[in-house]
Amino acid sequence: MLDEKYDAFQEAHVASQDIQDAAVRMEEVVYKEAPKKDKKNKKSNGFKAVIATGLICSLLGGGIGGAIGANMTMRNAAEELSNTSGTGHQVQLIGNKSQISPVVAIAQKVMPSVVGVKTYGTYNYWGRQIDNQELGSGSGIIYSEDGYVITNYHVIENATSVTVTLSDGAEYDARIVGADSSSDLAVLKVEAQNLPAATLGDSDELQIGELVVAIGNPLGYENTVTDGIVSGLNRQLTNYTDAMTLIQTNAAINSGNSGGALVNSKGEVIGINSAKLVASNAEGMGFALSINEVKPIVEELISKGHVSRPYMGVTINSQYQVDESTAEKYEIPMGIQIADVMKGGPAERAGLRAGDIIYKVNDTLIQSFDDLSDIIDNCKVGDTLRVLADRNGQKVTANVTLAEGNN
């Protein structure tokens, strides 16, 4: 009887999926406001499903398209920079300070701290493996004077070697210290000292409408500067990283800007340029990782080479995510179904099995994959979750102690 009810639910699910696919073909642009979360514990659990909803997102290490930068005139911003460049040298502004764009002073301060990143690896050409071929390019930000550089994971993905080029043209071989696909961040190391490290700001203080400047190497054009405003805060993209919230900007960013700096009017880096929307009905929508969320991940990558995240050790059946109203309509259990459990993992040790339908964790009802993922995102390694599940009509309780999982 339950199988018949589930079959009816599946038919409705397939029809709903057809409607979603039609929306994808229409290139409908979708974004959502991210809920405020505990930033101290906000980490991805590494298994969150990505469901296409018509959003077309281009990663800027190899994407296409452009956005329109907005011109701003904020005289006080130029004076606030105190004419200090990232090298510690005085910046001489030409002409009347009251008339010059603040973007000039911002660019002169931050540009020395932004680098070009080139990646090399094996290239498959008509079935032939060609080694040491240039795979792509992007941007990076000097994090410390002793040679640590921040960039995006997708910039260095699949690379066997990396070079970093400073704004003055000096080129260094770089070592990949650590990389994290969930946050789309990576840290490089060059053997150099006294580099012009960027000044990092406080992205929590950003306000919609304030001036921002994007600096990077789009399409191979080094030291490119564009300006705009903060268009939105706490954004999430459905087919990009769900581990981080994003700053939305209309500053023009393009392929190669990935890993570059989004800077406030004080010349402080408040974001890592990472993605943009590419759609026939959208323009001027770029996104940067918030620097306050970037910093702890970078520190962990430097110290450990990876980011530790709590995990349950389950794979979820994407075809069975049943909310309360659907459960009542089709008379099937509410919740999400476990497709598989990792051998020796936390869920298996706690007694959960493939086929169990998780419907409650602690005091939270589980009606979708996101419900469970959000709970784990805000947990630490070693936290214990009280999981209630339906197993062939029988109630099962499991106390799952989250273990450490590397991205």
The whole-angstrom separation of Cα 293 and Cα 290 is 6
> Is 184 assigned a catalytic role?
yes
What single-letter DSSP state applies at residue 127?
Answer: T
3-state secondary structure of 206: coil
CB 214 within 8 A of CB 13: no
| DSSP per-residue letters across 13-58 | HHHHHHHHHHHHHTT----EEPPP--TTT----S-------S--EE
Per 3-state DSSP, what percentage of the chain is helix, strand, and coil (rounded to 5)?
A: 20, 35, 40
The type of residue at 365 is: L
- Tokens at 141, concatenated: 């930000």
Element (H, E) at 373: helix 369-377
* Bridge partner residues of 173 (DSSP): 163
The whole-angstrom separation of Cα 195 and Cα 113 is 8
Q: Of the candidates 133, 131, 132, 91, which has an alpha carbon nearest to the alpha carbon of residue 111?
A: 91
Q: Of the candidates 189, 229, 194, 238, which has an alpha carbon nearest to the alpha carbon of residue 209?
A: 229
Phi first, then psi, for residue 204 (nearest 5°) are -70, -20
Q: Of the candidates 378, 328, 322, 354, which has an alpha carbon nearest to the alpha carbon of residue 10?
A: 322
CB 255 within 8 A of CB 60: yes
44, 58, 139, 154: the active-site residue: 154
Q: Of the candidates 98, 96, 95, which has an alpha carbon nearest to the alpha carbon of residue 77?
A: 98
CB 356 within 8 A of CB 391: yes
The whole-angstrom separation of Cα 53 and Cα 313 is 27
Element (H, E) at 233: strand 224-236
> Is 290 assigned a catalytic role?
no
258, 265, 274, 373: the active-site residue: 258
58, 85, 184, 356: the active-site residue: 184
Give the residue numbers marked as catalytic: 154, 184, 258
